[in-house]
Structure 1
Amino acid sequence: MMSSVQRPGVDKWESVGPYASARTVECLVKPDGGSVILASGPSTPGGFWSEDSGATWQPVKPPTPYPVGTVLVGNHADPKRWWLTTTSLPGVHESGVFRSDDRGATWERLDVELMHGDSIQTIAAHRRGKVLVGVGAQGGTYVSRDGGDSWQNEDLSENLAVIKVAFLGDDLVFQTQQDQLLYIVRNAAGKPQPPKPLTLLKDGQLLSSWEAAGQTIAVVVLGTDGDGGLVVSRDAGVTWAAPRKELSGGTVLVSTSQAGDQILHQSSAATWLDSGDGFRKVEQPGETARSFCPLPEGGWLIADRVHGLYSTADWKLFNLVGVPAASVTALAVAEGTVLAGTETGLFRSSVPVAGPEWETPGGLSLDGNHIVDLDVSTENPSLVWRTRRVDQKSTIERSLDAGKSWKKGLVRPDAVYAVHIHPLDPNRVIHSFGYLKNDKEVLGVRTTDDAGVSWFEHDHGRFYIDLVADPANPDGVWMASYTNGLYYSADFGKSWESKTAEEANAVLVTTGGSGGSRVLIGGETIRYSDDRGDTFQTARMDHRDPLRVVAFAQHDGVLFAATAGIWYPGNPAVITAGQGVLRSRDNGNTWHDASGDLPGLDVRALAVDPGQPCLYAGLHGGSVHRLAL
């Protein structure tokens, strides 16, 4: 689980999982023989750290609240010192390199003078912690030889554009953008020599995957006449073993520790591990391992891009130990369960959630399994509908057992967005869509009156990202259309009328509170209407501009709003920092911060469990957190 330091007088959120989506893992050995583990997720700015072999995790908060890409590396000579790179967001955040000497509690921006328009993409740290090499988006290298105190734009590659680097002892290996070849800079940690190509490819061969650590570099080579395979050097590229043809294709990972260098090769056929005594076939917890490291106390950690971080003592049995890095896009509470839709699939847990290992009905997938929206019937809490993007297509699906199993419904080669079940009739469902027909966009809603047996398509000329039934009209639907504003249909989607052109990412019809029923919309602020959308007033909010409200929830007269970190390219671009969860106790007139000790402020979804009662918040790259109500 993820622990946090509780501060008195603040809302106390609890991480409840699920564990998912680990991208990197690094083990830093402490002087006392213990270890500090650094891990990151593919969508998590910052990352996570642990001092108890992954039993608990602390968040690494990045030095910016904006949705930027980050790379986290540690100092093997001093495990308390870490470095973090951030990509740029024009107008709000400049790319840079940051250093922390207190395990991420504070960050110091280092003085790196980037070329105009450049952005740091990755960084490599020498194991002695003095030499750092950052790679820019333009392929240049930025070098520090004093732990980050000073930086130079050193042309280690002699005008070759670099896309990936790794230290190989005191040498530096890099791959180029132009010819996709490997080069080595001897003594890069001291007085660098001119780069030289690593001559391991024959005519007609291609480099497929490579990693380097310690004194070992391993390369997957693709050949034309069966002459490819895994090629390994254990003396920093001076000599190379003959290709292992049985280890062809796939990907290779290399890790180093006090016990020596280790190689992991994985393909669809098998997984092989060489711990220094030759390759042996092993099991693997998933098919998308991205990083691994041996632990000084014994065993290994494996970062799987989809499933999370695993530990193993024998490469036969695996335990899921981290990290809470799922990118949650939808949340719902069904009969005795909470459902979390993510970019890789659906997670499900009984309530109250007891731990970070959730069920995954239907499995998870790296590509093409994005749960876009979830909705639960108020008449039948075991009935759930969802919209899902899978394999370049979209599906609208139904579950009759609170998300345990799903019946595939409409399958279309288009995009799907929101879905909503009519609160009075569970057979009536509406969902929004968009597709191209004869180079023309068709955007609107589809409706069914018979639980999905037949669907009726209504072209509105715009997409909707939130749909809410009108409790005052059995056929009424409120439809939020982002910058197009808020629309209303009095005949369940057949026709529409514009209510306001103000931004509407989310819509809520309140059901209690002293102010009675009212309509709220969330966008760059929160607005409310007491005359069924004819006029709107702007709510009072104690927040920092700008923001984007993307979801609402309510319980016992108290309203909640989720704010997300958003980057929409355009002219002008829309860029906001997530500001966590907001709360209103006066039916939406005023809003105050309810984020408390929530470790991340980029919140994409909310759901209330009235039985506990509690509020669930789904974070981008931070899984699900729970607040007792």
Structure 2
Amino acid sequence: MIALLAAVLAVVPSAHAGPSTRWDNIGPNGAGGYLAFAKDVAYVLPGAGQQVFRSGDRGRSWRQGRPFPEMRGAALAADPARPDTVLVAGYEGGGGAGTVLRSVDGGLSFSVALRTPSEVQDVAFGGAFSYAASAEGVYRGVGGLTWSLLPGSPASAEDVQVVGSDLVVAAGGVVHVLRAGKWSSVDVPADKISSRGDVVVARKFSGGVHLSVDRGASWRAVSGPWTSSWILYGGITANGWIQVQTLDGHFISADLGATWKRTDAVERVDVYTEIGSFPDMPDWQWVYGSGGVYATADHEHFKRVGVPGAHVLALAVSGRSIIAGTMQGSYRTDLPVVAQEWDFDGSAPPAIGNRIGALAARDGVVLRGRNGYRGSQDTIFVERSLDGGRSWVTNAEMPGNTRSLVFDPVVPGRVYLGAYLVNAFYVSLDGGLSFVQRVHSPLRGIKTIAADAGGIWLADAGGLYRSTDAGLTVKQVLPGRMNSVLVDPRDSRHVVAVGQNSVFVSFDGTSFVEVPGVSAEQLSAIAMSPSGVLYLGSISFEGSSKGVLRSSDGGRSWTVFGGPDVERGVESLLVSSDGRTLYAGTVSGSVHRRSLG
């Protein structure tokens, strides 16, 4: 089973990056999302809901679409007859209005096809028509265009399914059916509906699962070996299996609910959100669960699919391993990267408490700062790997969250750990096995620590600070919010501090000159190549950012080095030791690679 899954999802290697002006999305496949299939094309809309990923080779590789125009998606559908036509349902930020976006280039770009007064919660294709469910009722379009509200359609529509020549809708908490031009309602609880042939399954979180074998004309309640009334998932898959997930576990029935089999799905992929299949492979199902997207043939054995849409907070290289810290754990793969699928540090990460905010590597040792919870307290867990990020051991824990870990370049065993949510940072003298706290009342939250032979620099929400005694005392050098700081390893007098929109540069280690207006977007991480070229990330929370900026004069001036592939924003940057490759950890596009020649 595992070998077959691996063969189905094998990734075709690509060549090592040569000189190029474009970015390559190299993974990791660290995001799940809502699913749509048409012929041999798969689409995934990650939970962030701001772009679509497309695979034309059944999940072997993925192409990232451009960010949506001022809208967050909540559902998508692909036209079975025209696989490159895709609809996304969602809402516009701030006003509560709804939108349907339409793409005819396989999700690469979208335009607004329909605007509604309230959020659009679902879209579907059926026959020659397309449908959208919203608070006003059900809209019908032709190929995703020329929409109009269906007369008599129920208000508060949440989910729409085309079942043969009929329409079955979850609206107002119950089932509604459009048959032969007439609407009828049934007192069957429903917020989600799925169908196969004439069989329809309706489920509601607190209302159970109900089954119809005549396209919604009559219904019966589904019962099984569970006692919980909270339905986490309920539906029918393309091969005819009824699936129910409750607080008691995950159950499958191959005979319309007559008998049931319990699976280990909850332990392996956590809570199901959606299941989908390629039309010609109904027995192979993709599951969107809390841990991402997985492929399975029995809901006992799973192969992680995912899409390269992870939020990458940190990057590190150790030996032949490159490691990415994300919102759901860390991933690693060998250099040079040839596949979007990387090794994952767990099979089913918890929904909270597995955010990797910082990474540091030296001499075969990798440290990571994992932001989680101990009880109700925000806690940093410092974990150590001696095998390039393949396995981890927890060494220490302390209050706060972290975005910065750094080895002292001079003193063996000394490690600095930045913290926010507490006015302190931490110092280790034994290589990260234990830490002591350095409390300083002016600190408001450290984003980055940079170390040199003379001490450390702290980029803090309250300013740039300097310490020359391992953090026993700190002195403010610059006021204002600082997001990052870098010391030139070739000359410690050259320091670059990054504010919200400005850059501050020093060439004597004491006085700084501001370079204002570097970007209208928030500036983030900074990195330097061996030759001294600087790269700076930017993040936009509305629209698109410049992605990456570049400076060849030590930070005095900057030019755009980004592009549409990284315009959602860059959280972390890493230049290879040979200076030939730049890696950018993005907000929702995993890691992008660009050749530097």
**TM category, shorter:** 0.7 to 0.9
Could you tell me how far 1:458 is from its partner in structure 2? Answer: 0.3
Work out whether residues 2 and 58 of structure 1, in 8 Å CA contact, stay in contact via their aligned partners in 2: no
Question: CA, structure 1 residues 536+610, in 2 after alignment: closer, same or farther (shift >3 Å)?
Answer: same
Q: Which amino acid aligns with 1:398?
A: E
Name the counterpart of 1:21. Answer: 31
Could you tell me how far 1:111 is from its partner in structure 2? Answer: 4.8
Question: CA, structure 1 residues 276+48, in 2 after alignment: closer, same or farther (shift >3 Å)?
Answer: farther
Superposed, 1:319-398 pairs within 5 Å as: 319-378=303-362, 380-390=363-373, 392=376, 393-398=378-383
Name the counterpart of 1:571. Answer: none
Q: Which amino acid aligns with 1:558?
A: V
Work out whether residues 143 and 152 of structure 1, in 8 Å CA contact, stay in contact via their aligned partners in 2: yes
Determine whether 1:88 maps to 2:82. no
Question: CA, structure 1 residues 80+488, in 2 after alignment: closer, same or farther (shift >3 Å)?
Answer: same
Determine whether 1:537 maps to 2:523. no
Determine whether 1:305 maps to 2:286. no
Name the counterpart of 1:293. Answer: 276
Question: CA, structure 1 residues 385+121, in 2 after alignment: closer, same or farther (shift >3 Å)?
Answer: same
Percent identity, please.
22
Work out whether residues 46 and 84 of structure 1, in 8 Å CA contact, stay in contact via their aligned partners in 2: no
- 1:311-338 Cα offsets, whole Å, 9 max, x none, are 3456565444442222222211123322
Q: Which amino acid aligns with 2:383?
A: R
DSSP 3-state at the match of 1:167: strand
Work out whether residues 59 and 599 of structure 1, in 8 Å CA contact, stay in contact via their aligned partners in 2: no
- 1:97-143 Cα offsets, whole Å, 9 max, x none, are 2222232344332352x43xx5x3533224225242243xxx44462
DSSP 3-state at the match of 1:46: coil
Work out whether residues 518 and 532 of structure 1, in 8 Å CA contact, stay in contact via their aligned partners in 2: yes
Question: CA, structure 1 residues 130+25, in 2 after alignment: closer, same or farther (shift >3 Å)?
Answer: same
The TM-score with structure 2 as length reference comes to 0.82
Gaps in structure 2 of 5+ consecutive residues: 1-10
Name the counterpart of 1:238. Answer: 217
Question: CA, structure 1 residues 255+328, in 2 after alignment: closer, same or farther (shift >3 Å)?
Answer: farther
Question: CA, structure 1 residues 363+308, in 2 after alignment: closer, same or farther (shift >3 Å)?
Answer: closer
Name the counterpart of 1:486. Answer: 464
- 1:22-80 Cα offsets, whole Å, 9 max, x none, are 22222223xxxxx322222223522212222222322222343x684454322234323
Q: Which amino acid aligns with 1:430?
A: Y
Work out whether residues 140 and 150 of structure 2, in 8 Å CA contact, stay in contact via their aligned partners in 1: no
Work out whether residues 370 and 380 of structure 2, in 8 Å CA contact, stay in contact via their aligned partners in 1: yes
Q: Which amino acid aligns with 1:445?
A: F
DSSP 3-state at the match of 1:110: strand
Q: Which amino acid aligns with 1:446?
A: Y
Name the counterpart of 2:160. Answer: 166
Determine whether 1:527 maps to 2:519. no
For 2:442 and 2:361, locate their aligned partners in 1 and report how far apart those are by CA, in whole Å. 28
Name the counterpart of 1:399. Answer: 384
Q: Which amino acid aligns with 1:184?
A: H
Superposed, 1:180-191 pairs within 5 Å as: 181-187=173-179, 191=181
Paired residue total: 570
Name the counterpart of 1:555. Answer: 529
Could you tell me how far 1:538 is from its partner in structure 2? Answer: 0.8
For 1:335 and 1:9, locate their aligned partners in 2 and report how far apart those are by CA, in whole Å. 23
Work out whether residues 262 and 273 of structure 1, in 8 Å CA contact, stay in contact via their aligned partners in 2: yes
Could you tell me how far 1:426 is from its partner in structure 2? Answer: 4.5
Work out whether residues 327 and 354 of structure 2, in 8 Å CA contact, stay in contact via their aligned partners in 1: yes
Determine whether 1:36 maps to 2:10. no
Name the counterpart of 1:456. Answer: 437
Name the counterpart of 1:510. Answer: 488
Q: Which amino acid aligns with 2:334?
A: S
Determine whether 1:626 maps to 2:572. no
DSSP 3-state at the match of 1:598: helix
For 2:79 and 2:227, locate their aligned partners in 1 and report how far apart those are by CA, in whole Å. 34
Superposed, 1:89-108 pairs within 5 Å as: 89-90=93-94, 96-108=99-111
Superposed, 1:138-177 pairs within 5 Å as: 139-141=135-137, 143-151=139-147, 161-162=156-157, 164-169=158-163, 170-176=166-172
Name the counterpart of 1:582. Answer: 549
Gaps in structure 1 of 5+ consecutive residues: 30-34, 201-206, 436-441, 567-574
Could you tell me how far 1:551 is from its partner in structure 2? Answer: 0.7
RMSD over aligned CA atoms reads 3.8
- 1:297-317 Cα offsets, whole Å, 9 max, x none, are 324231333444333456565
Q: Which amino acid aligns with 1:246?
A: P
Name the counterpart of 1:61. Answer: 66
- 1:129-175 Cα offsets, whole Å, 9 max, x none, are 5242243xxx444624444434456796766x45x322252324225
Q: Which amino acid aligns with 1:60?
A: G
For 1:140 and 1:271, locate their aligned partners in 2 and report how far apart those are by CA, in whole Å. 35
Work out whether residues 67 and 568 of structure 2, in 8 Å CA contact, stay in contact via their aligned partners in 1: no
Name the counterpart of 1:125. Answer: 124
Name the counterpart of 2:3. Answer: none
Could you tell me how far 1:400 is from its partner in structure 2? Answer: 4.6
Q: Which amino acid aligns with 1:463?
A: R
Superposed, 1:216-231 pairs within 5 Å as: 216-219=199-202, 230-231=209-210
Question: CA, structure 1 residues 346+363, in 2 after alignment: closer, same or farther (shift >3 Å)?
Answer: farther
Could you tell me how far 1:620 is from its partner in structure 2? Answer: 2.4
Question: CA, structure 1 residues 76+263, in 2 after alignment: closer, same or farther (shift >3 Å)?
Answer: farther
Work out whether residues 37 and 49 of structure 1, in 8 Å CA contact, stay in contact via their aligned partners in 2: yes
The TM-score with structure 1 as length reference comes to 0.78
Could you tell me how far 1:20 is from its partner in structure 2? Answer: 2.7
